[in-house]
Amino acid sequence: MSDLTVSFVQLALQWHDPEANRTELGRRISGISVPTDLIVLPEMFTTGFTMEAPAVAETMDGPTIAWMRQWAAERDAVVTGSIVVREGDSYYNRLLWVRPDGTLSYYNKRHLFRMGGETAVYTPGSERLIEEWRGWRICPLVCYDLRFPVWSRNPAQEPYDLLIYVANWPAARRTAWMTLLRARAIENLAYTVGVNCVGVDGNSLVYTGDSALIDMRGEYLVEVGNQETCITRTLRRTDLDSFRERFAAFLDADAFELHDLALQPKPRS
């Protein structure tokens, strides 16, 4: 199995300004100086974490998906992150998984942040997404999902190798963010990346970033603090496989089923 090179962008998002955010994110992506396999952007990366869905929502043929397809093709990498999507009368906090050939899968955020009013605006997802990409199995999730270990749990039969959380996680709860990222990496024996934003949003919430890449032992490979940045690192397949072989804790995990937990990727479109 080959290694996987991952890039992620931590940015101060411009409130309700998709064009400005796409422009700045594009500038950061164009500055990645080495080949990469996967580019990870924050939650609601075109708008910031907003409850004003009718004002900002896009459709699945909107400008942001076209933009993601352009960058995925240009960098020969998957581009992923979440945006506000409208389908009929429903709104979704939808993570998009866009491949270089233009096909895509998506994941609708399962755990909506009720304390911020998200449950009153958005429709929750019911299916988890696990994607196969260049020999790696990858599970991308969104922000508040981080607090729910059952939803993140790694299946023992076909374990994922990389767990992703894209987020707008406020500074007031940064201890939880940093602690739970490490916990999810340790309990699932998987590389884990958490991508947050920085700055102050339109609701005067402060974000201090703390985006990170963590290995299956719970050790930081990258921790970026509070600055705007784009980071690229290569994940070593042999390190993951050898650790799992020596420490196969998943073989002793308790068995249970969730009837609405779907582990298969969505059909390509």
- Catalytic center residues: 43, 109, 143
- H-run or E-run covering 185: helix 174-188
Eight-state DSSP code of residue 154: P
Residues 118 and 51: beta-carbon distance below 8 Å: yes
Sign of dihedral through CA atoms 250, 252, 253, 259? positive
Closest Cα to residue 77, out of 130, 40, 36? 36
Alpha carbon separation from 150 to 49, 109, 147 (Å, rounded): 24, 15, 9
Q: Let me know: does 87 contact 121? Beta carbons within 8 Å.
A: no
Q: Which has the closest alpha carbon to 56: 64, 161, 259?
A: 64
* 65 DSSP β-pair partners: none
Handedness of CA 239, 73, 163, 159 (dihedral sign): negative
